[in-house]
C-alpha cells in the first residue's frame, strides 16, 4: 500500500481527532522506524515513551508470541498462571506492597482517583460526596470525561462538559500554593513529576519533596502519574527518585509493556489498596496472561540492559550538546531535559513547522503546546546513532527564520 493511499483511507474512514505528520510507518527496529518506501527515520518520540526498550525488542516479541499461542485471556473471573508473577515483579521494582493491573494509562489514573476518594471517605473520614483532589495546571492524565474535566487545555475540554466536580487546579511547580490549597475535604494530590504533554516542564528542585511533606502534614494522599516519566525515561527508574519523594500511589503504563501491548497499573501499599473489595473495581483485560508475559519481559530488558543508567548518561550528553548549539539563539527560549526526555522551547509557536522540517531530515520528533519540540528517543539508542540524529536535527532546530505553523497538535 502506498503512503498516499494509507493516508487517504485514514482520512476517509477515521475520525479527525489527530493531525499526524505526513509519514506512514511500516516497520520498526530498535531506535529506528521505516516508512512504506523503506526510508529510515530516527524515532525521537518513542510513542510518548511506550517504546523505551526500542521497537520490536526480540526478547519482548518472543514472550508475546509464546504466550499468545498458549493462553491470552481468562478475565478476572478466574486466576491465571502469569498474573501473580507480574504483580510480584512490579511490586519489587516499584517498592510498593500491592499492584492493581489495568490496560491503558487513563484507566490507571481513573483507578487512582477512585482509590483516593474511597480512602478519603473510609479512612480519613471526609463526608461522603465532598472529597476534593488537587491537580496541576498544564496537566495531562488521559482522555476520559473525568480527566479532561480537570484539564486547563481548551482543545481537551471544549464541549465535553459539564466537568466532573471535586477537582481543583493549582500552579505546577509552586509547592507553597499547593500546600495553601489543601483544605479539610482534600483527600489527594495528583501530579506528573515532569509534565510531558505540558512541554517537558521540570519543576524547581525541591518541589516534589515539599509537596510530599505538605501531603504528609495534612494527611492527604500523594499520587504521581509516571506513565510517561517512569521506567527509566528520566535517568532513574522513576522520576520521583530524583528527590526521594515517594508518593502514596504510583501510576505506570507505556514502557511497562515495551510498546507491544497496552498494560498499565496502580501501585500502592496495602493501607491504600485495601479500599478495593470484590466488585468495587475491575477490568476484563486487566492482568491477562498475555499482558503479564509481555510486562515481565519488558521489565527484564529495562533492568538487564540498564536502560535507566543509559538514559542518564546519554541524556546528559545530548542535553549538553543541544544547549551548546542553541545557546543565544534568538528564537529559542530554553533547552531543558532530564535523562532522555528533552525539550527545545521557542519564543513563538513555530514548533509544528520545526517538527515537519525534522521529519524531512529523517528525525521524527513531536511538537506540543505550539512552542515546544520534544526529543525522546528509545533508551536503547546507541551513542553513535544519537549523535548522528543530533547532527541532522541541530541545523533544523537552529534555523534562523521560519514561518509560524501553529496547527493542531497531534497529542496523545
Task: Supply the residues annotated as catalytic.
Answer: 140, 225, 254
Chain-centroid distance of CA 147 in Å reads 15
195: left (phi over 0), alpha (psi -120 to 50) or beta: beta
Distance from C-alpha of 81 to C-alpha of 19, rounded to nearest angstrom: 41
Sign of CA dihedral 18, 19, 20, 22: positive
Q: Residue length, the chain?
A: 412
DSSP state of 62: H
Distance from C-alpha of 295 to C-alpha of 83, rounded to nearest angstrom: 10
Q: Report whether 149 contacts 164 (CB < 8 A).
A: yes
Q: Give the closest residue to 156 by CA, choosing from 368, 381, 343.
A: 368
Instruction: Identify the three-state secondary structure at position 32.
Output: strand
Which stretches of 247-397 are DSSP H helices? 270-273, 289-304, 307-326, 351-360, 383-397
Cell of 325: 548549539
Q: What is the DSSP string of 195-235?
A: BTTTTSBPPPTTHHHHHHHHHHHHT-EEEEE-TTTTTTTTS
Q: Report whether 53 contacts 255 (CB < 8 A).
A: yes
Instruction: Give the C-alpha distances (Å, rounded to integers) separating 172 from 70, 84, 169, 175, 288.
Output: 46, 37, 9, 8, 36
Distance from C-alpha of 113 to C-alpha of 142, rounded to nearest angstrom: 12
DSSP state of 78: S
DSSP state of 260: S
Distance from C-alpha of 261 to C-alpha of 258, rounded to nearest angstrom: 8
**CA angle, 146 then 163 then 220, to 5°:** 60
Contacts of 182 (CB under 8 A, 6+ apart): 134, 189, 214, 215, 218, 220
Amino acid at each position: 500500500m502506498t503512503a498516499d493511499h494509507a493516508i487517504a483511507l485514514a482520512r476517509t474512514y477515521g475520525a479527525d481527532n489527530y493531525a499526524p505528520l505526513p509519514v506512514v510507518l511500516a516497520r520498526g527496529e530498535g531506535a529506528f522506524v521505516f516508512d512504506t518506501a523503506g526510508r529510515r527515520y530516527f524515532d525521537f518520540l518513542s510513542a510518548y515513551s511506550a517504546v523505551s526498550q526500542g521497537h520490536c525488542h526480540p526478547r519482548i516479541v518472543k514472550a508475546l508470541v509464546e504466550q499468545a499461542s498458549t493462553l491470552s485471556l481468562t478475565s478476572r473471573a478466574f486466576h491465571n498462571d502469569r498474573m501473580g508473577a507480574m504483580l510480584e515483579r512490579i511490586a519489587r521494582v516499584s517498592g510498593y506492597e500491592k499492584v492493581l493491573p489495568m490496560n491503558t494509562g487513563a484507566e490507571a489514573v481513573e483507578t487512582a482517583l477512585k482509590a483516593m476518594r474511597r480512602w478519603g471517605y473510609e479512612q480519613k473520614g471526609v463526608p461522603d460526596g465532598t472529597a476534593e483532589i488537587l491537580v496541576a495546571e498544564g496537566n495531562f492524565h488521559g482522555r476520559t470525561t473525568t480527566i479532561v474535566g480537570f484539564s486547563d487545555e481548551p482543545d481537551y475540554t471544549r464541549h465535553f462538559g459539564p466537568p466532573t466536580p471535586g477537582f481543583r487546579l493549582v500552579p505546577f511547580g509552586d509547592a507553597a500554593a499547593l500546600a495553601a490549597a489543601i483544605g479539610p475535604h482534600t483527600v489527594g494530590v495528583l501530579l506528573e513529576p515532569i509534565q510531558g504533554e505540558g512541554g517537558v516542564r521540570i519543576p524547581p528542585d525541591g518541589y516534589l519533596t515539599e509537596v510530599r511533606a505538605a501531603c504528609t502534614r495534612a494527611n492527604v494522599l500523594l499520587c504521581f502519574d509516571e506513565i510517561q516519566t517512569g521506567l527509566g525515561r528520566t535517568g532513574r527508574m522513576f522520576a520521583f527518585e530524583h528527590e526521594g519523594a515517594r508518593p502514596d500511589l504510583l501510576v505506570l503504563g507505556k514502557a511497562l509493556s515495551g510498546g507491544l501491548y497496552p498494560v498499565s497499573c496502580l501501585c500502592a501499599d496495602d493501607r491504600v489498596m485495601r479500599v478495593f473489595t470484590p466488585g468495587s473495581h475491575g477490568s476484563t483485560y486487566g492482568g491477562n496472561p498475555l499482558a503479564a508475559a509481555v510486562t515481565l519481559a519488558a521489565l527484564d530488558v529495562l533492568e538487564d540492559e540498564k536502560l535507566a543508567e543509559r538514559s542518564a548518561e546519554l541524556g546528559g550528553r545530548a542535553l549538553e550538546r543541544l544547549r551548546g548549539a542553541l545557546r543565544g539563539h534568538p528564537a529559542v527560549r530554553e533547552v531543558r531535559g532530564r535523562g532522555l526526555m528533552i525539550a527545545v522551547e521557542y519564543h513563538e509557536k513555530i514548533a509544528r513547522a520545526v517538527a515537519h522540517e525534522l521529519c524531512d531530515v529523517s528525525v521524527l520528533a513531536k511538537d506540543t503546546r505550539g512552542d515546544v519540540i520534544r526529543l525522546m528517543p528509545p533508551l536503547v539508542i546507541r551513542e553513535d546513532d544519537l549523535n548522528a540524529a543530533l547532527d541532522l536535527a541541530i541545523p533544523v532546530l537552529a534555523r534562523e527564520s521560519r514561518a509560524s505553523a501553529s496547527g493542531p497538535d497531534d497529542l496523545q
